[in-house]
Amino acid sequence: MTNACNAQTQPRKSGTIFSLGELLVDLIPVEDGGRIEKTGAVLKVASGSAGIFACAVAALGAKSGFLGKVGKDALSRMVYSTVREAGVNMDHVVVSDEGQIGLAFIEYLPDGKRNYEYYRSRSVGSLYRASELDTDALDGAFALHFPGMLLDLTPELREASLFAARTAKEKGALLSFDPNIRAELNSRESLERMISVIRMADVIAPTLAEGRMITGKHSTGDVLRALHEMGPSVVSLTQDKDGAAVSMAGEVALCDGIDVPVIDPTGAGDTFAAALVVALQRGMTLADMALFCNCAGTLVVTKRGAIGQAIPTLSEVDALMKTKPCRVQIVPLSELD
């Protein structure tokens, strides 16, 4: 069985795993059933998809770094210090007086879904520019990761993301990409931009629903094969409580879901994606990689508020893995329906 990514450039086994993106503040109702339009206490936590990814990488024992921009406002300082205290290298983050950090209010609906209301128009993080990227930071990096929403937030952040992706590839780092399709950003133009990055990427981590939207295919096997044909050598498909599939080198690890009480799913996908890159760096077998990712993503949903609250440590993930909490089946990609 092949344990390493079959990227165009053989991946390094050391180096920092960087993520690029916008840091945010999540404001989460403390009271169950709390709604944005109602008064009540909220939990204030550092967030942002790329920030969660970076903190998860650090929590899982790998070298983690963040690329982006924050303001000089109090909430920017709170998020910056929280992410740094989580073990993420913040030396390459731009601190600017160009604006304030963005906010995301979250409410949990009766059907179990989440509703977000963003206050981030021209937020400081969304104004990160290609000219502000410290390209030297990517020298010797193991991987660069960014979420697909960056391609649509602002022209500045889109340009910075694409420039960073090209630079990382030129320097021999793996490119990890999470399509992270948002309803408010869904258009044909957005999908085309996303596919152009998928063709560059070595590792992608969409949900099965996102994979179907991107490829036009339906079955897990057909979606995986279509995504591999676009270029990535490592593809995972998550399915919330129904588990995940991780595909590499012609084989697929199929993981059943792990039965846990779901408190807050925020950050589960980002943590799964982080665990995938960490597992590749460690050279795990495909079966161990899939179980590692599944356990890491599952543990996140058992607590509220991802960064500083719910992201599991390496020891917590290892402990869950030892209980063999779900079945992992290895099948040839060519035979998977």
- pLDDT, one tens digit per residue, over 104-118 is 999 988 877 788 899
| pLDDT for res 108 | 84
| pLDDT for res 149 | 93
What is the three-class DSSP state of 154?
coil
CA proximity to 16, closest of 87, 82, 80, 69:
87
The domain segmentation of the chain, as residue ranges, is: 49-67+130-335
| pLDDT for res 185 | 54
Residue type at 226?
Answer: A
On whether the CB atoms of residues 199 and 231 are closer than 8 A, the answer is yes
| pLDDT for res 5 | 45
**Regions of the chain short of the pLDDT cut 70:** 1-12, 183-186
| pLDDT for res 168 | 98
Going from the C-alpha of 297 to that of each of 12, 70, 267, 272, 274, the distances in angstroms are 25, 27, 8, 5, 9
Q: What is the pLDDT of residues 86-105, one digit of tens each?
A: 999 999 999 999 999 999 99
| pLDDT for res 132 | 98
Under 8 Å CB-to-CB from 154, ≥6 apart: which residues?
A: 122, 126, 127
In angstroms, the CA 174 to CA 24 distance is: 25
CA angle 310, 25, 177 (to 5 degrees): 70
Domain 49-67+130-335: top CATH class: alpha beta
CA proximity to 19, closest of 274, 288, 268, 307:
274
| pLDDT for res 184 | 55
Model's pTM, two decimal places?
Answer: 0.94
Residues composing the chain = 337
